[in-house]
Each structure stands twice: as C-alpha cells, then as structure tokens.
Chain A
Amino acid sequence: MNTVDIPRPRLSLVPGEVVESWNDPEIEAHFRTSYIEGTPPPTSLSLDAHNRDTQRAGRRFMWFIFHEGLVEHRLKELLRIKIASWRNCDY
C-alpha cells in the first residue's frame, strides 16, 4: 500500500478565543476575509497570530500588494502559484 507523506504541523494554531479577545477590527477583517477568499487560509493567519505585531505588519504588506496594487490581480495569482511551484514549495 502506498503511504502519503503528510507534513506535520510544527507550530500550534492560536485558538479563536485568544484572537477574538483582542477586539481588533483589522485582524478580524483579515480573518473574515480569509474564509471568503480562501487565500490566505485562516490556518496561516492562526499561525502568525502568535505574534500580533508581526502579523499586523506582515498582513498589511501582503494584503495591499496582492489586492490594492496597480497590477491586475490575475497576474499576481499566476506569480503566486508559479513561484511556489518553482521554489518547490507546497504552500
């Protein structure tokens, strides 16, 4: 029987009650958007929520370059998918 090599999580997910206790509208907006858009997945947000300041700066950078920039979104999605493939990255 073939076995599938499933990567094991290395960092824990920050529980929802912790993040919600911040009452932080910006972080809430990122989470709620992730359930709709699918990218980034909410699990990624729950990983970098271990460090709130880093998460805020990182998500601001990523959200605005992907969604608010000058270049068409389809092109950015193409780059995202292809560079992950070229970098041999599962993500």
Chain B
Amino acid sequence: MTEKQLTKAGEADAEGVTPREQAALRFGKRLCYEWPDLNQGNYEDLLRVFTQQEMIEVVTLCAWQFGGPNMLTSWGAEGYKRDGKVVLEALPVRLAYADAAKSEAPRPAIPHPPMLSISDLINRAIQRRSPPPGWLKFLSPHPFLPSTWGALYEAVVEGGIVENRIKQLQRVLLAEYVQCPGWAPEASTSLTAAGIGSRERAALRSLDLTMFSRRERAALRYTEGLVGTGQVSDAAFDDLKAEFTESEIVELGYAVSVQNGASRVFRSLLGTKWVEPR
C-alpha cells in the first residue's frame, strides 16, 4: 500500500483497500470519533463481510487500539526512539536479548498461552459483576479472545500488586466517563468490597476528587487523562510517579487500557441481539 493510499484509507473514496478493510476501518473510525453513536447497524455492517468470530476479533482489536498505544505514549515510549526508530546503541541500558538478536540463531516460537475455561471466567464475572458477564458472552464465540482478554482483565483489574480499591475506582471513573454504569454496576461485589458506593460514584461522575487520598487522586488523574483526551500531562504523571512505583504504574496503565475501548463497545452492544439490556 502506498503512503497516499494509507492516508486515504478509511475515507469513503479510498483506493487499494478491500471491502473487508474498508468495513473494519469504518468501524474503527466511528469508535474513535463517534463512539456514543455506535449501534447495532455498525456491527451488522461488519457482518456483511466478516463471520461472527471475525467481527468479534475486529471489534476487540479496535477496542484495544483505542487505548493501548496511548498508554505506551503516556510512559514516554516515543522518547526512546530517534526519528521514529529504536537505535539500540543510543539507549541508556542494554535491552534484554539484544545480543541474541544480532546472531543468526533462530528465534524461539512464542508459546500458546493456556486457555482458560469460558464458563469459569463468566461465573467469576457473574459473582463479581466485573467485567460485565455480557461482554464475555459477546466474546465467547471466538476461539481464544475470551481467554486472553479475560486473563488480562483479571490480572490487572481484579488481581495485581496495586490495592484493589484503586483499580475499582479507575473502573467506576471509566464507566461514568463513557456513560455506561453497567460496566461497573453499584451492586458489583468488587466495588462494595473496596468500600466504593454512591458517594464515591457521584464524586467520580463530577470529577471532584477531593474526597480521595493523594495516592487515589494521582491514579485517578492518570486514568482521567487516558480515558478523556488520551493524553497525560507532565504534571499528572509527576504526581503519579510520586505515589507509585514503576511496576505499579505499568499495572495501572494496563488496567485502564483493557477497559478503555472495550467499555465503549460494550455500551453500544447493550440492548442489541448480542448483549441483553442491563
């Protein structure tokens, strides 16, 4: 594909783009610019050129791409590149396996991850109401996405090293921002166990963070940046670094990113034939 074709891809008159690519790009663009207006018609548009399993894969990829790269940008990943490229010799440390990369030795294959039971994932989601069981059921026809997405969600939102209350506050802030309370319903045992009720939810809805601890506020400002504009200011990141280790920041970033686009897609699926209304 030429640079010109790549620039035009996603436009109605794009050239060099297959009907499947055009449909996927239409969905991705709508998610980026008009996510509150996503509806059943957008999924039916995809199903004209994709099978249901393929549609789930396209939608989930779009949802990840909505937030994942912004997380890496928030960590300053681009600051380690020179003219857009990684120059190993210019980095402040030697990266892992950089020497092996220069050898002729064949690279080891990336092993297939263990597949988690979909019914176990859904049962845990029903007990916690986290993530919405309807989201996992939407993913469930796909051969591996319920497992890999569900494992990531459980690792960084329900598990991990940062206290769970902070991850649950992130979840509520995100649900309120995208106007999808069903993503983090008040009856969720994960929220009640973390002491998060209607007062906290109202504060997060109005972005009045004064009732929260300094550590919670730092995490929530970081979340707000990723969920809102996708950009995190230097001041917000400095506050985050004052309160969290780098290991914790990585977890907080992934906890937002796994939900950022997914919650918007889930919102648009409510009441369609794929997800029952709340």
Contacts and interface: CB of A to CB of B under 8 A. Distances in A.
Interface in B145-175: 145, 148-149, 151-152, 155-156, 159-161
A20 B73 contact: no
Interface string A60-91: 11111111111110111011111110111111
Interface string B238-271: 0001000111111100100010000000000000
B104 to A, nearest CB: 12
Contact of A31 (B29, B97, B142): B97
Contacts of A67: 110
B29 to A, nearest CB: 6
Interface residues of A, number: 72
A64 to B, nearest CB: 5
B145 A65 contact: yes
19 contacts: A7-B73, A9-B76, A9-B79, A11-B249, A13-B93, A15-B93, A17-B94, A43-B81, A43-B86, A47-B75, A62-B64, A65-B148, A72-B20, A74-B21, A79-B24, A79-B61, A83-B31, A86-B10, A91-B72
Given A47-B75, A65-B148, A54 B250 contact: yes
Central interface residue in A16, A33, A70, by most chain B CB within 10 Å = A70
